[in-house]
Amino acid sequence: MSLSFAHVTLAQRVLFGAGRAAEHLAAEVDRLGAQRVMVIASESEMEMARAVAARIEVAHWHDEVVMHVPVEVAERARAAAAAAAADLLVSVGGGSTTGLAKAVALTAGLPIVAVPTTYAGSEATNVWGLTEATRKTTGVDDRVLPVTVIYDPSLTLTLPVGISVASGLNALAHCVDSLWAPRADPINAALAVEGVRALTSGLPRIVAAASDLRGREETAYGAYLSAVAFASAGSGIHHKICHVLGGTFNLPHAETHAVVLPYVLAFNAPYAPDAEARLAAALDAPTAVAGLERLRAELRAPRALVDLGFTEDGIATAVEVALPSIPVNNPRRVTASRLTALLHAALTGVDPAELSA
C-alpha cells in the first residue's frame, strides 16, 4: 500500500538536560539578543523561576497565573508586558503558565522561551486557549509557539506524584488523540507511539520513587514527543471534550484528561484497528484499553469525573457545547446520545469496555 500524506513539523529549538535550566536560559537570552525579559511564573513556582533566571537580567516578574487562562488575566499580562517594554517572554511552570505566555504572544508577537515544570506539552504546540464567560476558545497560531523549550527534568522532582501521574496521562492523551485527529499521518503516529513507550516506562518509576530522575527524564521526553505529534495532527475528540469540561465547568486540566482518556479510547478503538494495534503494542497488552487500564491501576490514576467536581446535571450542557467541535473524521460517528453515554461512564468511572459496544 502506497503512502500519501502531508506533514508539517514546527520549527522549534529544544534544549534538554537535568540541572541545566539556568545555563540554557542564559545562553538563549544571549542568542536571541533580548534586553527586556518578562518572566511568567505562578506565585507557588516563583522561587524556582528566580533560580532558573538567576543568570539573566529580568525587567518584569509576573505571577498572576490562573488555570484555563481567563481573558481578563490575559489582558492584565498583556498590559504588564507592554508597560515593561518586554522583548522576550520566559515562562516557568505548567500548562497554565505556558498558556498565559501564549496569550501575550498572540497579541504582542513576542517570542517565548518555555521552561516546563510539568508534562502538559503546551510548550511544544502552536495552540492557544482562552476562557471567557465559562467558554474556552482554542486556536492555532504560529506566533504562540515558543521559539525554545528548555527541559530540565530536575525541575519536576518536587512535582507531587499524583499531579505527575495526571500530567503524564494528559501527555498520553496527546499521543492517543494524534492517531485519529484531523491531520493524523504516519509521522505523527511514529512520534505518538514512541511517546507512549517513554511515558509508560517513566511514569511507573515516578510512582515507585518520586525522586527517580531517570523516570522524570523519560516522562519529560515522552511528553515532548506527544506534544509534537499533537501539534501536527490537531485536536481530536478527546481534547474537544476536555476543553469543554475545563472551560465550562472549571475542572482541573490534567486530572480531567486522565479520567476521560480511557473512555475515548474505548469509544474509538474498535473503529480504528490500526491505531488500536499500535497502542496495544506500545502498551505491551492484548488490547489498547486493557493496557491503559493496567497502567492506570499501577499509577493509581484518577478514575471518575464526579471526584473532580463534575455532576450529572452538567452532562447535557457539556454535550451541547462539545458536539459541534468534534472532528467529522473521528473514527466512530459521534452523536448526542453516544457522547452522553461516554460522559455518564466517565462521571462515575465504570468499566470503559462498556463503551465499545
* Res. 118: pLDDT tops 80: yes
* Res. 113: pLDDT tops 80: yes
357: confidence class by pLDDT, cuts 50, 70, 90: low
For all residues of the chain together, what is the average pLDDT? 96
* Res. 356: pLDDT tops 70: no
Strand partners, 38: 60, 89
Q: What is the pLDDT of residue 354?
A: 82
Average pLDDT in the 331-345 region? 97
Contact between 124 and 106 (Cβ < 8 Å): no
84/37 Cα distance (integer angstroms): 9
User: How far, in whole angstroms, is CA 158 from its chain's centroid?
Assistant: 19
C-alpha distances out from residue 190 to 171, 226, 236, 279, Å: 15, 10, 17, 11
pLDDT, one tens digit per residue, over 307-337 is: 999 999 999 999 999 999 999 999 999 999 9
133: confidence class by pLDDT, cuts 50, 70, 90: confident
135: confidence class by pLDDT, cuts 50, 70, 90: confident
pLDDT, one tens digit per residue, over 33-79 is: 999 999 999 999 999 999 999 999 999 999 999 999 999 999 999 99
285/292 Cα distance (integer angstroms): 9
> 18: buried, middle or exposed (CB in 10 Å: 19+, 13-18, 0-12)?
middle
Residue that the C-alpha cell 506533514 belongs to: 7
pLDDT, one tens digit per residue, over 230-269 is: 999 999 999 999 999 998 999 999 999 999 999 999 999 9
Q: What is the pLDDT of residue 1?
A: 47
Q: Catalogue all structural domains in the chain, each as residue range(s) with its CATH number.
A: 13-156 (3.40.50.1970), 161-356 (1.20.1090.10)
Q: Give buried/exposed letters for 163-185 (b at 16+ CB in 10 A, else e).
A: bbbbbbbbbbbbbbbbbbbebbb
Global confidence as pTM? 0.94
Average pLDDT in the 197-222 region? 98
In this prediction, what percent of the chain has a pLDDT beyond 70?
Answer: 99
* Res. 108: pLDDT tops 90: yes
Decide: helix, strand or coil at residue 135. Answer: strand
Q: What is the pLDDT of residue 343?
A: 98
